[in-house]
Every structure is written in structure tokens, then in C-alpha cells.
Amino acid sequence: MVGIVIVSHSQQLALGVQQLAAQMVQGRVPLAIAAGIDDPENPLGTDPMQVYEAIASVFSDDGVLVLMDLGSALMSAEMALEFLSPEQRQKVHLCEAPLVEGAIAAVVAASLGHNIQQVMAEARSALVAKATLLGVVNSPLSLVATASTESATKEIRLTVNNRLGLHARPAAQFVTTASKFQSQIWVKNITRGTNTVRGDSINQVATLGVRQGHELEITASGADAEKALAALAELIANNFGENDSALELPPAVEHHTPTTHGELSGIAASPGVAIAPVVHYQAAAVIPTEYNVEDVEAEWQRLQAAIATAQQQIQALFSQASMQIGDTEAGIFVAHLLFLEDPVLLEAVRVRIFDHHLNAEAAWQAVVDEVAASYHQLEDAYLQERVEDVVDVGQRVLRLLAGTSAQALELSEPAILVASDLTPSDTIGLDPSKVLGICTTSGSATSHSAIIARTLGIPAVLGVDAGILYLEDGTIMALDGESGKAWVEPEPDILSILEAKREAWRTTQQEALAKAHQPAMTRDGQQVNVFANIGSIADVQVALASGAEGVGLLRTEFLYLGRTSAPTEEEQLAVYQAIAQVLDQQPLIIRTLDVGGDKPLPYIKVPLETNPFLGWRGIRLCLDHPDLFRTQLRAILRASHGHNIKIMLPMIATITEVRAAKAILNEVQRELSQAGIAFDANIKVGIMIEVPAAVAIADQLAAEVDFFSIGTNDLSQYVMAGDRNNPRVANLTDALHPAVLRMVQQTVQAGHAAGIWVGLCGELAADPSATEILLGLGLDELSVNPQAIPILKQAIAQLTISECQAIAASALQLDSATHVRQLTS
């Protein structure tokens, strides 16, 4: 590991820098000082022999970096080199980087295993974070021009073409991609003439104000600079994976309702008609008190703990949003996670705590306010709206620091929600069966809250007069999210018009739902089971209302996330029983816990993994935590009494894993029998097919289990060796690629040969262009998110199995997912 030496005229200064730098890496980096002279009358100075001894104490073949403060410190360091052998001298590097900032940057880089050239580059660029925060950086090269020539600096200019520019989700993808490389990445909006900012800072990238057609200058400095720029260029060329059609705003429509007393005009944000009593919602903002602290390290750790808990909460929100509104819109919460990891923001907070002795709440709020102000200063209204995400995350951390929780919205009856504004976190938690409409005094059709409301199907009118905030709860309101109008205590004629419009929409929906409640039958009489993927008790009601014939996948992770200890047997039992009771005798397939490095739990120590998708997760983790696994199996078995519950094991790659899991299940069954506790003794056990190894031995696995369920989300990334969360290779992981389809075919054939049924619960099942291929491959069951069920059943009703088999046979012979999609379009 690279060693660090600090040379200073002042011993006190050097000791302070040493202590600060050592705290950054918990003492893992060899760090020595050479400071002051042995003269009580005049202790300021430097001694070459001290420098030599410090270098010798941390010397290794990886090299030593020497940082100096003023004048004679450089001469003493140069003289110290004369005491070294020529071989040693070549491995010692004197660096002109700033002493304090350079030492911190250097020890962090050294702790990560970087080589001496990379450590020097980090030290030399250490002032950039401060300069960027103060708005004085004009060029990324101005502060790194002295970096070693071994660390190449490359530059590209690209035009952003996606319709909404670098809003939160594309900015999050940019930062995620930039952070994967060792090179330092800088970006500048040439079109707007902005300062250059760090490419690994979500806030700095987002506040560049990049819109469609703007040109970026991206600079990378480091050994992998070319690869970094190539990845970012591909990301931008692919429009950050965005389908602009999914970003369409509600269409402007001609208003047919006359202006009347009590009418309010606003912004049409989410279509639909709602008529109901109003209920006010106003989350109490946490306003921190500022005070000085003595133990700054303890205060910093307190903030770190709050941030870690906030990350867990947002990760749970992301999982919930993925199930409710899909991965694309759930990407809003990925941006929230990156906000909490923003190195520029965190360094600014740290400075306020350590240098100014501010308490964590005040330091955090001050920096959040600065970030919010930078968004407000943008010329573009759409990007200004992203401040809602900053406030949302900022308040989440403040609540955790204050030990308070967010105000829960509990509605006994359906209502229209009236508020000044709603955050994305507020909106994703709304129940569409209780919140019939949203009316706020601020916001816009392009806000993240509006996007979530549209996806949830909740009518919304935003930006109306602030007078609505003074209405009494229970006042009747009507709103039309298509026209952007709302009415307080509407006149009878207006009410009649709106009720007719609402009823026409309901009739259309009910006709579709009526057909959805019929069995999914092809034109030639083949029935296909259509189940729902769910992740909560509330989801099962939506699933049944949408025509689900059972639950093909209950993700149990929601029981484990966002808490400090594992759920008890009784807690799990209550949830499983509640869902099973709603389903009555319809199937409920419960997937056992599927977490790991990609979805960590705070109470299970998961080692840092280079690729958590290939690591300790799913059944692997459960088998290594048998107590955790046994508790879940006991709860599932107890809930199975009198219900149609099945167990599904995730991430199966070997027969040994299946047998080990079944052995634990058998032990739990014996314990329950001995205790006289009822359960379904014939409970069915199946496995997820999501690993290529499981496909290769599917014939052997079929002899061990009662059913297969193919998880194409993971299977596609494993088959194609492409991380579906990595924008550089995500295009490879299209589940309609013939390679993935052949895996599906092989699994179906092996399952049917063994006499077991085969389903598919990945997102592919909800893709209308895939339906005929999946039916042609012989799948017995498709499980999708509840909202996709009516469309899927309508698609099935238009097909015949013979037609599907012909198309599937053709698809298997094609050479790309693109050609497969063209075949079915």
C-alpha cells in the first residue's frame, strides 16, 4: 500500500492533519509526519533527517507520497531523498498538492488500493470539490494539469437528445456510470456556459440545467479515461434508456364545462374525474435548531447513521415503487439514493461539522438549502422542479436525526387529498382506492409526484388557488384531471356533467375488468392461468380487482426491509394469513426471502461484493442463516392450513441447494407436527429458474420439486452476462433475445417431461409483444403486475396456440431481440 508522509513547519498542524486523515480511513494507511524542530524557543521549522525517518517508517515497494507545507519544507524533503538508495528514491514522490485536502484525498485513494500515480492525481485535484462548491472552477484541467502523464486526460463533446434532458433519472444514470471508473470525470454544459462540475455528484450534474439539444463537454483523467468516456457516450447515445413516449404529458383538451361559482383553474396533471370530500394533508417540516458541538466525530457519526437508515428506507420505497409503477418510474428513488452518496454534498456537511462545530441537523440543512437554491437558480422550469426531490431527501434525514417519523395519512373513507404540495415519497404511499383525487396549490404536470400519480391512476389538478388550504375537511370537491379544473361544492349542472364523464370512464373500465375476470382463453380453447406478482397486503386486493386468478409471486422482502431486526414468526404469519384469506382457495405462491448484496439488510452482515448479483444472495444466504430461514418456513407452513399456499425457493443453481432447503422444511414440519400445530402436509414446493445452471439441469431439478417459475429479469442478465442495472450493457439483457427464449423453451420441455407445470413471473410476461411467443413455448402460467392483467388477458383471447407455436419457432431462429420484436410487431 502507498505510504503518506506529511512535512510541516508546525508539529501541531501536522499532528492535526495526521489525525484527520487517519480518521478518514480508520488508520488503514501508513501515515507519518516530519514536523517542527527540537528548539523550545523557536519550534517552527523542518529537519531533513526527520523527513528521512518518516519516509523510512512507511516505505514499501508501492511507493511513498510526500506532502509539504511551505518554503524550507520542500528543501528538507529534497535533502531527505539523498539519504535513500537510488532504487528507493525512484519510489518516493514529492507532491505539491495542498497539505490538508491533499492528505485526505491521498489516504482515501491509498486505502482503495490505488497506485502511486493515482494517489498523486487524487491529492493534486483535492481542491476541486471546494472550488466547485464555491463556483470558482472554470476548467477541469486547471486543478489537475500537474497530474502524472501516466494518467491520461481525454475529452469528448456530446449532444443530449432525450426530450427532458438530464433530469433526475438520467442524471442518476450518468453519475452511476461515472462512478464505476477510477478516472476522475468532469462535465460542463457548453450551451449554457456553466462551470465544470464533478461527474460523480448527482446534484452538480443535475444543476447543470441540461436540456434537449444542449452540448456537454466531458473530461476524464485517469488510466481508464477512454473506457469511461466511451461508456458515457453510449449512455447518451441511447437516450439514457428512456422511451420518450413514456414521458408524454396529459394531452391538452378542449374544456366543455362552463365557468361557474366555485370553479378553480389549475394544471391538468393526471387524467380522470373525482368527486369526494376533501381531506387536508400537510407533512410537518422539521426545522432544525443550530448549536455548537464539542465532539465533532460523534456528531458526524450520528449523521452517518441517519443517512444509512434513510438509504434503507429509500431502498424499500424503490422496491415498492418498482412493483407498483415499474422500474422506469421507480428510478426517481435511485436519484434519491445518489443524493445521499453525493461526495460534494457530504464533504460540505463534514466541513461545517468539523471546522465550524455545527450540530448535524444545522449542518445538513444548510447544505441542503444551498443545493435547493442551485436548482431554483436554473433557467429551466422543469429542472427547477427537481428541488422537490432535494427537499424530500433532506427532510427524511432531518426526521431521522430528530427521532420523528413522517406523518402517516390514514383515511377512513375515500377522499380528495388537498395539500400545498406532495413529495414523491408522499405520493408513492397513496392508496388509489382511498385517495380518489389530488388537488395542490403548487407542482406541475412534469413533477415526479405528478408522474407517480398518473402511473397510479389517481386524477390530479395542481397549482390551484391557495384558498383550498382553508377548506374544512369534508367539503365536497370535484376535479377533472383532464381539463385541469376543480370545483368546490359544485353546482348540480356541473356535478351532472362530471358524473356523466366519470360514469362513462367507469363503464369502459368495468367492461375491460369484466372480461379480465373471465378465464384467459385462446381462440382455440387453450386456457392459460394468469396470476399476479405482489409485494404487500394492499396489492392482493388490486390484483383480484384486476382479474388475477391467484398470486404467482409474493415477494416477501417488504417484511424484512426498512427495519433493524428480522420480522418475527408471528408478524409474518399475520401477513401471510391475511393475504391467503383474501384469496380464499386461489393459489398463493410465497417466494422465500431473496436478499443479498444488492438488497442488504442492516441486521445481516453481508460482505462487500464486487458483483452482488453473482454473490451471497437468495437461497444461498438463507441456507447460511438457517434460523432466519426456519422462522419464515414456520410462518408459511402455519398460514398454509386451510389455504392454497405454495413455497418457492429463489436463486437455485444446484440440486444440493434444493435438497438442503427441503431438509430444513422437513425438520420444521416435524416440529410443528410434534407441537400439534396444523399445516398443509402436502404443501407444494417449487423453484425459481433464473440461473443458467438451473436450466442446464432442469430435468434433474424437476424430479425434486412440484413446479418451476421462470424469473426472466435475472435469467436474461445471467444468460447475456450483462448487469441489467448497468446502462452500458442493459441493452443486452432484453428477455426476448433468442438465447433467453431458448432457455425458456428448454425449461418448459424439462418441466413438462417430468409432469410438472411451468410458469413465468418476470417482466417479460407483461410485455404485449411477448405474449404469443410465451404461449407458443408452452408456458402454463403467466404472473404479472396487477395493472397488466386486463391487457394480458385481452391479448391471450386474440390468439390461437397453433399461431403462437409458429411464431415462437420463428423467433428461436432469429439472431437478436430487435428482430424478435419486429416479428411480433
CATH number of domain containing 433? 3.50.30.10
Same domain, 268 and 333: no
Tell me whether residue 804 is one of the annotated catalytic residues.
no
Q: Which of 345, 331, 341, 317 is nearest to 170 (CA)?
A: 331
Same domain, 589 and 505: no
In a domain, 135, yes or no: no
Same domain, 711 and 645: yes
In a domain, 9, yes or no: yes
Q: Which member of 448, 622, 643, 804 is catalytic?
A: 448
| Residue 97 confidence class, pLDDT cut points 50, 70, 90 | confident
Last residue of a domain, one of 347, 368, 402: 402
Average pLDDT over residues 428-449: 82
Same domain, 503 and 530: no
In a domain, 141, yes or no: no
**Antiparallel, parallel or unpaired: β 588-591 and 645-649:** parallel
CATH number at residue 200: 3.30.1340.10
Q: How far is CA 669 from the centre of its chain?
A: 38
In a domain, 148, yes or no: no
pLDDT for residue 727: 45
DSSP per residue, 261-311? TTEEE-EEEE--EEEEEEEE--PPPP-PPP-B-S-HHHHHHHHHHHHHHHH
Same domain, 757 and 778: yes
* Higher-pLDDT residue of 165, 654: 654
Number of Cβ within a 10 Å radius of residue 731: 15
Last residue of a domain, one of 451, 483, 512: 512
| Residue 752 confidence class, pLDDT cut points 50, 70, 90 | very high
Tell me whether residue 448 is one of the annotated catalytic residues.
yes
Percent with pLDDT over 90 in the chain: 39
Same domain, 501 and 530: no
Q: How far apart are CA 12 and CA 347, in angstroms?
A: 23
Q: What is the pLDDT of residues 353-406, one digit of tens each?
A: 999 999 999 999 999 988 888 777 766 555 566 677 888 889 999 999 988 877
pLDDT for residue 386: 65
| Residue 503 confidence class, pLDDT cut points 50, 70, 90 | confident
Element (H, E) at 555: strand 551-555
Taking each continuous run of H as one helix and of E as one strand, the counts in the chain are 32, 25
Same domain, 753 and 657: yes
209-233: buried (b, 16+ CB within 10 Å) or exposed (e) per residue?
Answer: bbbeebebbbbbbbbbbebbbebbe
Same domain, 373 and 312: yes
CA angle 441–446–449, rounded 5-degree value: 60
Last residue of a domain, one of 356, 376, 402: 402
In a domain, 78, yes or no: yes
In a domain, 612, yes or no: yes
Number of structural domains (the chain) is 5
Q: How far is CA 321 from the centre of its chain?
A: 10
CATH number at residue 25: 3.40.50.510
pLDDT for residue 141: 29
| Residue 150 confidence class, pLDDT cut points 50, 70, 90 | very low
Same domain, 190 and 237: yes
Element (H, E) at 453: helix 448-456
In a domain, 140, yes or no: no
Same domain, 503 and 639: no
Same domain, 503 and 524: no
Structural contact between residues 306 and 400, judged by C-beta atoms closer than 8 angstroms: yes
Q: Which member of 95, 439, 761, 804 is catalytic?
A: 761
| Residue 528 confidence class, pLDDT cut points 50, 70, 90 | very high
Q: Cell numbers 391471450 label which residue?
A: 796
If you average pLDDT over every residue of the chain, what do you get?
84
Number of Cβ within a 10 Å radius of residue 380: 17
Average pLDDT over residues 125-145: 47
Same domain, 536 and 427: no
pLDDT for residue 604: 81
In a domain, 529, yes or no: yes
What is the extent of the structural domain holding 61? 3-126
Largest CA distance in the chain: 102
CATH number at residue 331: 1.10.274.10
